[in-house]
Amino acid sequence: MLEIVWRSHGPIGAYQILAELSKEREKAAPPTVYRALEFLVGAGLVHRIDSLNAFMGCDEPGHAHVAQFLVCRACHRVAEIDDPALHRALAEKSRAMGFRIEPTSLEIKGLCGECAEVAG
């Protein structure tokens, strides 16, 4: 399963993973895929991109971090950044407001360079 996510080189949906897995195993089922993805996310090997309802391999799987993602709203490309200063700033602002953020990812939507160029 991890190999399928990494092979995609970008965000991939659970049902796309299921379709790939079905080529290798006849009896692959959605619950199996979701359980495996949950495990991979928990292990820090895969990130869930909520806005795309998709998953992608972690750029730094051996390094515990809270990732930030740049998500292109046109082509759905995703770039992972890991900026501890950004995470610290958000955590500090949240604490000042009496809000405790949970370890999660941050998705920043916009246009990638290629799509921005096409859009003019």
pTM exceeding the 0.95 threshold for the entire prediction: no
Long-range contacts of 7-11, Cβ-Cβ distance < 8 Å, separation of 24 or more: 8/56, 10/56, 10/76, 10/77, 10/78, 11/49, 11/52, 11/54, 11/55, 11/56, 11/76, 11/78
> Where in the chain are the domains?
2-119
Please tell me the predicted confidence (pLDDT) of residue 82.
Answer: 84
Q: Which two tokens stand for residue 73?
A: 């709203």
Instruction: Report the C-alpha gap between 114 and 99 in whole angstroms.
Output: 37
Please tell me the predicted confidence (pLDDT) of residue 64.
Answer: 74
To which CATH superfamily is domain 2-119 assigned?
A: Ferric-uptake regulator, C-terminal dimerisarion domain (3.30.1490.190)
Would you place residue 67 in the very low, low, confident or very high pLDDT band (cuts 50, 70, 90)? Answer: confident
- What mean pLDDT is reported for the chain? 90
Please tell me the predicted confidence (pLDDT) of residue 117.
Answer: 93
Please tell me the predicted confidence (pLDDT) of residue 23.
Answer: 86
pLDDT at 36 over 90: yes
Under a CB-based contact definition with an 8 Å cutoff, are residues 55 and 80 in contact?
no
Instruction: Report the C-alpha gap between 5 and 87 in whole angstroms.
Output: 26
Mean pLDDT score, 9-29: 89
SS3 (DSSP) at 78: strand
Please tell me the predicted confidence (pLDDT) of residue 101.
Answer: 84
CA 52 to chain CA mean position, Å: 9
Please tell me the predicted confidence (pLDDT) of residue 9.
Answer: 87
